[in-house]
Amino acid sequence: MMQGLGAAEGLLMQRHAMLVFAVSATIVLTLAFGADRVAAQQAVPAPAPQTAPAPYAIQYDAHLAVRADRTATETSTKRIKILTPGAIASISQQQIAFIEGMHSLDTVEAFTEKADGTKVPVGAANIITRDAVSGLPATYARDLKQRTVIFRDVQVGDTLVMTNIMEFRQSVFPGQFFGSDIFPRSQAIVSAQVIVEAPQELNLQVTTTGTGLHDAVEDINGLHRHTLTLAPQTYLPEEGRAVSPVDRDPVLLVSTFRSYEEMGLAYAAAALPKAVVTPEIAALADEITRGIEDRRRQAAAIDAWMKKNIRYVALWLSLGRVVPNDAATVLRNKYGDCKDKVTLMSALLAAKGIASEAALVNFGPVYTLAEPPTMVALNHVILYLPEFDVYDDPTAQYAAFGVMAADTYDKPVVRVSASGAKLARTPAMAPDDHTAHARTVVNVAADGTVTGHTEETNTGIFGFGLRFAGANAQNVGETAPQRMLQLYNTPGTGQYDFGNVADTIDPANMRGAFTLTERFKPPAAGASTRISFGLPQTVRPGRFLLGDRLAGRKSGFTCYAGRQTEDIDATFDPALPMPITLAPVSIENRSFSYHATFQVEGRTLRMHREFVSRVPGQVCPPELEAEMSNDLNRVGINVNRTYAFSQAVAQIRRTAASDQKLRLDFLYALNPDCTSMGFATVHILEEPKHGKLTVENGTGFTNFPQSNSRYECNKRRSDGVVVVYEPDSGFTGADSVNIDAIYASGTSQKRHYSIEVK
């Protein structure tokens, strides 16, 4: 039930696989091990997204008895029925975590129940207790234990049964008791009942959020009893970037705290006395800010010093989950977790007369703070500087002053200071605060050699990510550019100029030069080829801010505001053919805009793309997925366009009736789901000599062959460009028209129409 502060930020530095910078890798969530309970979640892993029926079915029963001294006993039984072969390996070993000294755990019984009622008991040798690990880098919980129960003879149709008794002897906040049960729909819980009882004089707060939990309340022999029953839920596999089950699914909250302000005061009583300004700290603050008169710049200098000199290491033991080390100890060790770093930075700021407040926040996809107070949504501590109205995270090693990790924007916080505690909210993202600009120059020599360079200039969370990528590239060494080019399917060699990525000052800038291994070979007329888009560390426009597409979303999902710009200039030697210009693209969606232009200047093809996400907050409703999906698909298609070269002229014959209009052609480009990619751009290369040509947007029927996956699109009208020929009055005979059609898909085709007017 008890949760530490500092677990989440250990993941800030994790999972930038092979140096491909995806900002999402810096915002991964993990709650502290030993956190508030997730009903049955410790029993089974979260299932992968799928459309198949649930792989198992869970029944959960628990009885929580809270005593007047704020200790408690919980007896719980979990029954997990195996429904698919794939569930056997993942579920047949169950883990339960507890904190030694604060909790005790007794596994009363565990057995495999066969379909005929036979019980196969788990022997004592198959119940193993050992030191647990947090799973986070540089995080060490020295009193965390893990009980593993290994079930025997498990087959489809069997039910795993386990009963445990957990004693809660002590809370991380002395004299208080709090916790939660979460019932995620992704856990296939078919039934659940939880009884919570406590002495009436304790006035224990018991509340449910979400829908599906029914609470029957009664007073029995001096006890206040809540019997909570979970209504049957529809199984819903977890969705990518979905908000936490805490925000969307049934949750039971139990607490002796009356308000988050009261919880904040409890944290303040334990933490604030640790931020003492010692003579050594005062001298260090003066040294860091020497020559700096502006107070905001002083705060930024202290922040930069913290990020360069105090590394992240969490050593947790009992109350240390919420009580920081004192500032002098953190300075001496040169390491600490989030609350330790906040404590030292607060002391350094105080030495310069700059006030600060600790802000308890969630690092992950929890965006609400449900009553009564628990720590199910609080797992991280940052700073608020009221003089500048700025939130800052000294644990975010690669972030500029006033920039946080993406998953701490637009979040409720509990701010604490010597003057008290209050609820507030971190600011939502603004597009112009989080920008990425990649400018790439590509040169293609007469012999096909491809060379070039990419310059990146980023701010906000994109600056954070660019510094992270630069640090990783430095660690990898000389082969880092080669690895990146290989990942982009453009093998080659290169080198990096790391610019200012070692400094936490926006904008961050970095440069990479490259030479490709494979030489450019001019494609046949009408074909296309791919040429390197350079050596960027940042994901390309449209890839990150609004996440990946998922049809039929049921849950709200995280989304971010920002601006991504990409400029690519590709210059070809005069001995080589020139690629054709692609059709410009302009998309205005309620949530984002995308604009792309392409033009040829001399021997250079200039490509400019800009993607702006302007979501008002960091939770997007599920219905927004369908609203923006087609437009985002168009963005992806355009960003990944290949270089197209001049095509052979299509020869088309048509017959027209004298003095009547002829629908000469219908030009279209459709997505696989039959939605239109947009309208083609038509350039008239040769007007008819004996009539007039009209080109306008309209609708018509497509003509895909049966072998094409879009054959079914032929059955309904689609958007496209209608080309109409009208002969001069009284004219009969031969006429002709030449056009150049540039489709929304990016392809181009010249078309010659031979027209016989009869």
**How do residues 559-569 score in pLDDT, each as one tens digit?**
999 999 999 99
Q: Would you call 649 exposed, middle or buried from its count of C-beta atoms within 10 A (0-12, 13-18, 19+)? A: middle
- Who wins on pLDDT, 134 or 278? 278
| % of the chain at pLDDT higher than 70 | 90
Per-residue confidence band for 643, with pLDDT thresholds at 50, 70 and 90: confident
pLDDT > 90? residue 22: no
**Torsion (CA) 427, 430, 434, 436 in degrees, nearest 10:** 170
- Token pair 């600011």: residue: 427
Q: Of 118-127, 336-345, 665-674, which gets the smallest average pLDDT?
A: 665-674
Q: Kind and range of the H or E element at 95? A: strand 93-99
pLDDT band at 650 (very low <50, low <70, confident <90, very high): confident
At residue 17, the pLDDT reads 25
Tell which residue, 678, 747, 667, 672, has the closest CA to residue 709. Answer: 672
Residues 6+ apart with CB under 8 A from 528: 642, 643, 644, 645, 747
The strand pairing partners of 610, in sequence order, are 565, 595
CA angle 114, 116, 121 (to 5 degrees): 35
Mean pLDDT of 483-487: 94
CA atoms in the 13 A half-sphere facing the CB of 629: 14
Degrees to nearest 5, angle at CA 418 with 417 and 419: 90
Q: What is the pLDDT of residue 323?
A: 84
Interval 268-316: pLDDT, tens: 999 999 999 999 999 999 999 999 999 999 999 999 999 999 998 876 6
Pair of tokens at residue 220: 């029995």
pLDDT band at 7 (very low <50, low <70, confident <90, very high): very low
The one-letter amino acid code at 544 reads F
pLDDT at 396 exceeding the cut of 60: yes
Short-list 160, 49, 169, 154, CA closest to 100 = 169
- Beta-carbon neighbour count of residue 735 at 10 Å? 20
pLDDT at 136: 61
Residue partners of 737: CB distance under 8 A and separation at least 6: 664, 684, 686, 687, 688, 693, 725, 752, 753, 755
Q: What is the pLDDT of residue 143?
A: 78
551: burial class by Cβ within 10 Å (0-12, 13-18, 19+)?
exposed
Helix (H, G, I), strand (E, B) or coil at 22: coil
C-alpha 503/C-alpha 488 separation (Å) is 28
Q: Which pairs count as long-range contacts for 57-61, CB under 8 Å and 24+ apart, including other chains?
A: 57/81, 57/83, 57/188, 57/190, 58/187, 58/188, 58/189, 58/190, 58/192, 59/189, 59/190, 59/191, 59/192, 60/189, 60/191, 60/192, 60/193, 60/194, 61/192, 61/193, 61/194
**Which residues, in sequence order, are CB contacts of 630 under 8 Å at separation 6+?**
671, 673, 675
Q: Which residue has the tokens 């560390």?
A: 537
**Contacts of 275 by beta carbon, 8 Å cutoff, 6+ apart:** 326, 327, 343, 344, 346, 347, 350
* Mean pLDDT value across residues 112-129: 95
Q: How far is CA 673 from CA 592, 630, 707, in A?
A: 22, 9, 16
β-pairing, 562-572 with 435-444?
A: parallel
How does residue 475 score in pLDDT terms, banded at 50, 70 and 90?
A: very high
Question: Residue 43: pLDDT above 70?
Answer: no
* C-alpha torsion sign, points 144, 149, 150, 154: negative
Summary count for the chain: helices (H), strands (E): 10, 42
* pLDDT tens track for 517-528: 999 988 766 567
| Domains and their CATH numbers in the chain | 36-262 (2.60.40.3140), 265-428 (3.10.620.30), 432-461+473-492+499-644 (2.60.120.1130), 650-757 (2.60.40)
* Six-digit token string for 602: 């001399």
Mean predicted lDDT score pLDDT of the chain? 89
Q: What would the mean pLDDT of 380-387 be, rounded to a whole number?
A: 97
- Whether the per-residue pLDDT at 34 is higher than 60: the answer is no
pLDDT for 411-437, tens place per residue? 999 999 999 999 999 999 999 999 999
* pLDDT score for 672: 84
pLDDT at 33 over 90: no
CA–CA separation, 152 and 147 (whole Å): 16
User: What was the pLDDT predicted at 10?
Assistant: 38
Q: Is the pLDDT assigned to residue 664 strictly greater than 90? A: yes
Distance, in Å, from the CA atom of 417 to the CA atom of 564, rounded to the nearest integer, reads: 38
Contact 1, 31 (CB under 8 A): no
